Each structure stands twice: as C-alpha cells, then as structure tokens.
Structure 1
C-alpha cells in the first residue's frame, strides 16, 4: 500500500501478558501517515491498484494460515508467536486491520449527503469499493449505533461497521469458516461524548444479572445497548448489541447446520471505539453461549483490537478470561487512546495510588506493542493506516535521526492535545 508524504521512524513490536506496558526494543520500521482516520485510510485505499491489492491478499492466504489458524486466533494466547512476530500472525492481523479500514473508506461523512453517516455502497460491493479487493468475505449485515448521551445525540443511528462471513473459496485457505465483525472508531460528536464518559458501571449483560462486580465504561455500554427510533434508517432493528448478537448467532447456526464438518471461528476486529465494542460483543456472545454451533460445539471468539482503550474493570477482564474470549491488542506505545480510561488508576498502578481501593480499569487480552510517530503529524499515533503499515514493515530500524530522537520529550502531551481537538471534528 502506498502512502504519500511518509517518514520512516523507529517501530517496535513486543507482547505483554502482565499488567505493565512492555518496554519497547527497536526492531521494525514504521511508515507514518495522515492523522484523520477517515480521510487517511480512504485516500490510501483509493490509491491502490486492484490487481496489486488482489495479489497481496492472495500472497497472505498461504497454506500455513490454514494449518495454524487456531494459534493465530489465540488458542495459546499467542505464546511464542509475538516475540519475534510470526509472519503469518503479522499478515493475518494486518489483513483484519485492512478489513476494519473499509469501514472508514465506505462511510459517507458529507453532511449534505442523503446518506450522511451511512455506508456509501451496497453490501455486495462494499469491500471492493473500499479497496479491499479479493477479501474473500461476503457482507451479510450492516450495523448501526446511536449513543444516547450528551447534547449531540440526534436519535439518528450511524453506520459503525458490518458483519461478514468467509466465502466458500476463502474458507479452505483460512482453514475454517470465519464469521467477521468489523467496527470503526469514533467519528461523530455523540460518539466522542460517549468515549469521554469514564465512569464504571455494572455491565448487566448476563441473563440474570448475577455479576454486578463486572463493570464497564458507561459510554461504551451506552453506545452498545442504546436503541434508535423505530422510524430511523436502521429499520427499527434494535440496538447495536441486538443487531450484532442476532446476526452473529444466525450465521453460526446456519453455517454449522449446512456444513457440519467445517471448523468455525468468530473474529471481532475494531479500531479505537470499535475495539471497545468488539470486546463487549466478545464477552456478550460467550456469556450467553451464542458462540456455540448447531451441534453444541464452542466456536472460538477472538478480538483483534487496534488502538483500543480499556473497556472494564478487573472483574470484567477475569470473566472474559474464564469465558475463553481471546483478545490481541495492537497498541502503539505513543497512542494516548490505549492509555484511557484509567490513566491514573489501572492494572499497572503502584505506589501510593496503587494502595487505593476501588475498581480499576484493566486491559483485556495480550498486547502486541508497536512504537511509531510522525513528528509533523502527531495524530498518526492513533491512525489505523499507520498501525497496519507498521505491522507490515519488515526492515530493521537503523540509527535514529535527530528528528526522530526529538520524540523522547513532550510527545504524550502533544498527542493528548490532538485527542482533545478531535472531540468536535470539523468533518462531521
């Protein structure tokens, strides 16, 4: 994938299973891009030649993916696959990142358009139009969400992603039938308002509300569970949660009946806010047993999170572990979103603050740590396109230039200024 006006910077990849963020060690090169996810990813996708994109997708789908798909999906918590980063894992995670990128490319952000905040294309051709040629998935449903918070709530739902399933041709190459949920990050003012609601509240997503100790961020929960008006363009199909649970469980049941000998997987991929929704969905599916096929077998559920924030407390994390929900968090150490919420009180807090009681935000899953920054475009620290390009980069970093070395001071504060400036984005 070609990106204009790029700058090569230091990049690192390192797993983390402990509560502390790993210390990066320089290993890979990253290519930084524009800051605004929607415009950056869209420009990059449109710049691709269809033939080159198809060739790249075909190259990734090697026999090794089919033979080790369970490990790629986290069956052993990616033990031994992240340091050094296994090439099949790298390519598969980058592939899912591109499928999430399609959500940005296909989103209509023109306020004057009749399809404002809807998908610009029909389900049959959305992936091709978004530049993911040869993806090997059939989109079966579009997903809408409406946060019911703050002064920016309009009652009109916004398109946040799609549900898809691997085609008959793609399935043998993947080694299983893959049900995919792809979710974008924050775009609207209402979504930013939801993101900034940092209070924890009981998730109450289990059937009998027997786990009041399981708590999640109130804004993400609101976005996940709020329903739009029945006369809205979502067709009165219920909340984001209801749409997702209904469609994913339908696909699992349908394909397991029609192809009883096939292995299956559920992959939930999201960027930023979308990764938070993906984690909530993974917990929800497993908690209600909706990830079981027609014969009662458990279908593995895996979250691939790109630049994702914390979602819940330690009890939420522990319950996800108990339910077998796997999550690989691809996180840039320079990305402030991955440090929120709970920037002061979290799973890694020690010392005086660490002695305080009460709930703490805790990340779910295993971390794959990146390290990239573009000095003249600090927003790139959270850009999905940069995340994917960093994963693809294979050249070993050389000696840091003076410009790159500058990042050692004051970068987080600058990045936080960028985040604050995105609370009311001008393109919405």
Structure 2
C-alpha cells in the first residue's frame, strides 16, 4: 500500500511503516529554506523551543497526511522508519518529533536524515534528543548545507552524526552523487550504518 504526499511518500510493509521526504524542488520550498527565523512548533509540547520557520511551514503543509498515515497504522508492534534528504531531512526531524511526542504507539522509531540543515534551537535539539527515537544524521563533510542556518543564529543539530567525506569533483550535497554511494558502499560491505562514521573518517585522513 502506498500513499503519496507532495513532499514524499508513505508506505506500509509487514510491521514496518515508512515515511520518506524528498529534497527541495519548488520555488516556494526554496523560499522556505531561507526563512531562517524561528517559531514554536505546533506539535512538540515545548514552549519557546524554536524551529526553523520555513521548514515548519513546509511540514505543516503535509502534516495531516503524514500524521494521519502514522495514526491509522501505528501499533505497539510497529517499527516506524522516517528518512529524507536536504529539506526532506529537516522534515524527517520534524515528523520524528511529531510522532514521538504525539502519543502514537510504536515499537521503534528511527530517523535517517541525509544532508540535513539545522532545524531548531539548542533547546529544541535537546528536547528532540530526549525523545524515544534513534536518529542518524548522515553528513558529508564537504556539504555546506549541513552547516546552515549557522549556529551563530542559535541553531543546533540534533541526532547522532554519521560523517563521511565524498571524493573531490562530486557534487557534495547531491543525493545520488555523494550520499547514496556512501550508503551503498556500507551496505556492500554488510556494515551497519553506524560504522560508516569510522570507515569514512579513516578515508578522510588519507585524503591529501
């Protein structure tokens, strides 16, 4: 079964629910990326937390579909997996917080954010990291997008970073050029995603 939203797709397979967000496509989404002012999210039970206004606006446009899908199929035996790239990575964080704080039953909740920008304030990031989630933030060291909005504006990353360095000449923020090859390499070696950090750090050390 598949249910599509303008920002991605939701699917159910056995005991697993999958929610996937794509990156920026429309001009409106590009504008939202630069709306760096913060606001309280409508769903995270945190006053004066502060998430990126543009990312929050994008998530609000799909929240009913995403939350409705999760609510319709969630159960104590379900495993929920959320993933996204770029803007989709930011939306994956917001969806993860929404589900984690929304009272829905689940067995495990995992978030995989590829090349995600910073999503919220230090207070929001701490609140996120206290939730019952396993969050992996996959970061290409050459990817500038993972460093904006800057921490000078009060933003902080949440989740556990898994870092790698793409080869020179590769578009550093590209999903197919940089992020998927690193993931496929780890899969080919039958390595868990969490081991990508150590392997890529070793590769980066040998790069001139």
TM-score range, shorter chain: 0.7 to 0.9
Match of 2:181 in 1: 389
1:364-395 residue CA offsets vs partner (Å, 9 max, x unmatched): 110000101332x5xx1011122111233369
Match of 2:142 in 1: 334
Deviation for aligned residue 1:204: 2.8
Match of 1:415 in 2: none
Match of 2:49 in 1: 214
Tell me, in whole angstroms, the C-alpha distance in 2 between the residues paired with 1:214 and 1:324.
Answer: 18
Tell me, in whole angstroms, the C-alpha distance in 1 between the residues paired with 2:148 and 2:55.
Answer: 12
Match of 2:156 in 1: 362
8 Å CA contact retained: 2:139, 2:164: yes
1:341-363 residue CA offsets vs partner (Å, 9 max, x unmatched): 12x517xxxxxxxxxxxxx1111
Match of 2:81 in 1: 267
SS at match of 2:100: helix
Gaps of 5+ in 2: 190-198
Structure number having the greater strand percentage? 2
Match of 1:242 in 2: 64
Distance 1:299 1:397, change over 3 A: closer
Match of 2:130 in 1: 322
Deviation for aligned residue 1:397: 5.2
- Show the 5 A alignment for 1:11-26: none
SS at match of 2:93: helix
Deviation for aligned residue 1:199: 1.0
Which consecutive aligned stretches of 4+ in structure 1 deviate over 3 angstroms post-superposition?
394-400
Distance 1:204 1:398, change over 3 A: closer
Query: Superposition RMSD on alpha carbons, in Å?
Result: 2.3
Match of 2:101 in 1: 287
Match of 1:345 in 2: 152
SS at match of 1:369: strand
Match of 1:187 among 25, 30, 55: 25
Which protein is bigger by CA-based radius of gyration?
1
Match of 2:4 in 1: 142
TM-score if structure 1 supplies the norm length?
A: 0.42
**What is the aligned length?**
193
Distance 1:373 1:266, change over 3 A: same
Distance 1:341 1:398, change over 3 A: closer
Gaps of 5+ in 1: 1-137, 144-158, 168-176, 226-238, 257-262, 293-297, 347-359, 406-428
Match of 1:61 in 2: none
Deviation for aligned residue 1:182: 0.8
SS at match of 2:67: helix
- Show the 5 A alignment for 1:214-233: 214-225=49-60
Tell me, in whole angstroms, the C-alpha distance in 2 between the residues paired with 1:321 and 1:369.
Answer: 18
TM-score if structure 2 supplies the norm length?
A: 0.84
Deviation for aligned residue 1:198: 1.0
Match of 2:36 in 1: 198
Distance 1:213 1:325, change over 3 A: farther
Tell me, in whole angstroms, the C-alpha distance in 1 between the residues paired with 2:89 and 2:203.
Answer: 29
